[in-house]
Amino acid sequence: MMAMIVYAALAILMANLVFGVFLWFKVRKLYCYPGVLGFPVIGNLYNAYKTLLMITVDRGVKYGVAVAEEHGKDGIFFHWLCGSNVAAVITSPHLVKKLSFHPNLADKSYAIYNAFKICMDGPFSDICSDDEWKQKRKDYNINLKKSRVDSDYFNTFIKRSDKMVEKMLASSSSHVDAHAICSSVVYDISLKTMFGIDSDLVYHPDLVRVYDRIKVILATVVSDIPMIHVIQPILHRIIDVSIGKLVELRKLGLAEIDNKLKSNEGPLQDLTLFMYMALKHKKDNGSERILFNKIHELFLTSGHTVASVLSNMTYFLAVLPDIQERAWQEQYEIFGNDVRDPTIADLNQMKYLSRFMKESLRFVGPSVVVKSATADITIDGITIPRGTQVVFLLRYIKFDPKYFKNPNIFDPDRFLDESDVLKCGQSSFGAGIRNCPGEYFATILLKIVLSKMLRSLKLKTVDKNFRFEDMKYKSYILGDVENPPKLQVEKRT
Ligand code: HEM
C-alpha cells in the first residue's frame, strides 16, 4: 500500500515536471519575468495552476492588473494563462494605438470568443474576420448608419426617455429601482428600433433578472474550456423554458417575420436590423435555432450594453451631487425653462454631458479588449508570434496615473483636452476594424435619456453616508458597480 502511494506521488511529480518543462519550452523566448525561486519551470507550473480556475472575466482582469503592476512598465508583457495559450498583455495606450489597426490583428481572440460563438451568431461572436463576418457587419452598418439613427430611431429614444422619467418619478418615495427601470426602458428601445416591435413584455421584471444572469454566465464561461459545452445546452434550456417572457418575445418576432414575408413590401434596407437579418435567414432556409442565436446576440449587444452603462451612470450622478448639478446647469443653459425635446444640435452642445459619459465609461466600460495575432507582429523591436492572444488591458491603462492623472477621482474634465493617449487608453467601444458598430447609436441614446433625466429629476442616495469612494467594481462583458447604492428621486421644479 505504502509503495503504491509513493509510486503515485512520484508519477504525479514526474507528470508535473514534464508539464512544467513543456510550458517553459513554449514560452521561454517570450516571458519577461522570472519563475518562482528563479526556476522558470516551477514558475510556469505555478502560473498554470494559479490561473487554472480563473474562469471569470473579473478574476482574469484582477489577476492581469496585479501582474501588470509588476511587469507592465514597458507597455507589453507576455503571460501564459491556462486555457488561453500565450497572451501578449498591452498596458500602454501608445501600443494600443499602434496595434489596433495592424493588419495581422483583425481577428477576435479564439480563446475567448469560442464560448460566445456557441451561444450567439452575429458579427460580435464571429472569431474570424472572414467574408461571412464582413457580410454580417455590413448588415449592421447599414442599419446603424448616422442618418438612420438621427431620423428613424430618434423619436423612439425621446418617447422612451419620457417613459423612464415617468417611471422613476412614480416610484415609491423610499427607494427607486434604477437598474430595473433603466434596463427595461433600454430593452424597450432596442426592441422598437432594432426589432421594430412594440411590446410591454420587456417591462416584466423576469427579463431584467434573466439578462443579469446571462451576463454572469457569459462572463464565467468565456474561456476556451470544455465547460462551455456543458454550459451551452443549459443556457439554451434556461432561455427556452424558464424565461417565459423571452419565449413570448421570440414568438412575437417570428410572427412579424411571417407577416413581412407575406407582404414583401419595400426594399430590404428600409427594414429594421432584425427583419433584415431574419428575412435573409428565412430565404436561405436557416434553422430557427440559428436565427434565435442571431436575435439573441442582437438583443445583448444593443440592449444589455447600454442598459448596464446607463444604470451605472445613474449611480454616479446620485453619489456625485456636484457633478449632477454641473450637468444639469449645462441643460439649463441650453433649454432654460422650455420643456421642448432635444434636437441633434442641442445634443452637440452638451459637452459636459459627453465628458461625464466618457468618465463613467472609464470606470464601467470594457476592462479588456482581446484579439488574436493572425501572423507575426513586430512592434517596437518585440515580436508577437502568430496565434498569440493580444489583450488590451484597459482596466490597467485607464487607472495608470501616467496617463490618467489622479485616476481614482471621477473627473469628467480630464477629457477637456482629449489626446490620442486618452482616446486609445479608454477605447470604450473597442479598437480597430472590429470596433463597435453601435457607438453612435449608444451615444445618442444615452445623451437623450440623460438629458431628459437631468432636466426632470434629482437623483440621491438613500444612505447619505454612501460616497463615491465606497463603490466597488466588477468586470463582466462591460464593467459594473458591484455594490450599487439605493437611490431616491426628487422632481426638479
Ligand atoms: C455603451 C454601449 C456600448 C459599449 C460600451 C460597447 C462596447 C463594445 C466593445 C468594447 C466591443 C468590442 C470591440 C473590439 O473588439 O474592438 C463591441 C463590439 C460590438 N458591439 Fe458594442 N458597445 C455598446 C453598444 C452597442 C450597441 C448599441 C450595439 C448595436 C446596436 C453594439 C453592437 C456591437 C457589435 C455587433 C459588436 C461586434 C463588432 C464586430 O466584431 O464586428 N454595441 N462593443
Beta pairing, strands 382-384 & 76-81: unpaired
Q: Give the rounded distance of the alpha carbon of 258 from its chain centre.
A: 32
Q: How far is the CA of 149 from the centre of ligand 1 (A)?
A: 16
Q: Give 233's strand partners.
A: none
Radius of gyration (Cα) for the chain, nearest Å? 24
What is the C-alpha separation between 75 and 258, in angstroms, rounded? 53
Q: What is the mean pLDDT of residues 419-442?
A: 92
Atom 25, ligand 1: residue with shortest CA distance: 438
Atom 20, ligand 1: residue with shortest CA distance: 436
Q: What is the mean pLDDT of residues 81-95?
A: 83
133 Cα nearest atom in ligand 1: 41
Test site for ligand 1: of 301, 359, 371, 398, most ligand atoms within 8 A of the Cβ: 301
Q: Are 283 and 261 in contact (CB under 8 A)?
A: no
Q: Which amino acid is at 298?
A: L
pLDDT band at 493 (very low <50, low <70, confident <90, very high): confident
Q: Give the rounded distance of the alpha carbon of 179 from its chain centre.
A: 16
Q: How far is the CA of 215 from the centre of ligand 1 (A)?
A: 15
Q: Give the rounded distance of the alpha carbon of 208 from its chain centre.
A: 16
295 vs 101 pLDDT, higher one: 101
Check pLDDT > 80 for residue 268: no
Q: How far is the CA of 433 from the centre of ligand 1 (A)?
A: 12
Q: Is 436 annotated as a binding residue?
A: yes
For residue range 331-340, list pLDDT tens digits in order: 999 999 999 9
Q: How far is the CA of 305 from the centre of ligand 1 (A)?
A: 8
Residue (of 263, 339, 204) closest to 271 by Cα position: 263
Residue (of 144, 118, 187, 219) closest to 429 by Cα position: 144
Check pLDDT > 60 for residue 366: yes
Atom 16, ligand 1: residue with shortest CA distance: 430
Test site for ligand 1: of 129, 436, 477, most ligand atoms within 8 A of the Cβ: 436
- Give me the percent of the chain exceeding a pLDDT of 90: 53
Would you call 53 helix, strand, or coil by DSSP? coil
124 Cα nearest atom in ligand 1: 37
Q: How far is the CA of 54 from the centre of ligand 1 (A)?
A: 25
Q: 13: part of which helix (H) or strand (E)?
A: helix 2-27
pLDDT in the model for residue 241: 57
User: Rounded mean pLDDT of the chain?
Assistant: 87
pLDDT in the model for residue 272: 83
pTM: 0.92
Would you call 384 helix, strand, or coil by DSSP? strand
What is the C-alpha separation between 265 and 82, in angstroms, rounded? 52
Q: Give 80's strand partners.
A: 86
445 Cα nearest atom in ligand 1: 27
Q: Which of 38-47, 220-229, 343-352, 354-363 has the lowest mean pLDDT?
A: 220-229
431 Cα nearest atom in ligand 1: 16
Q: How far is the CA of 377 from the centre of ligand 1 (A)?
A: 25
Would you call 481 helix, strand, or coil by DSSP? strand
366 Cα nearest atom in ligand 1: 10
Atom 17, ligand 1: residue with shortest CA distance: 436
Q: How far is the CA of 302 from the centre of ligand 1 (A)?
A: 8
| Ligand 1 site residues, Cβ closer than 6 angstroms | 122-124, 137, 140, 144, 301-302, 305-306, 309, 365-366, 369, 428-432, 434-438, 441-442, 478
What is the C-alpha separation between 140 and 272, in angstroms, rounded? 10
Residue (of 168, 160, 196, 186) closest to 274 by Cα position: 196
126 Cα nearest atom in ligand 1: 40
Atom 12, ligand 1: residue with shortest CA distance: 430
Q: What is the mean pLDDT of residues 280-309?
A: 84
15 burial level (CB within 10 Å; 0-12, 13-18, 19+): exposed
Q: How far is the CA of 140 from the centre of ligand 1 (A)?
A: 11
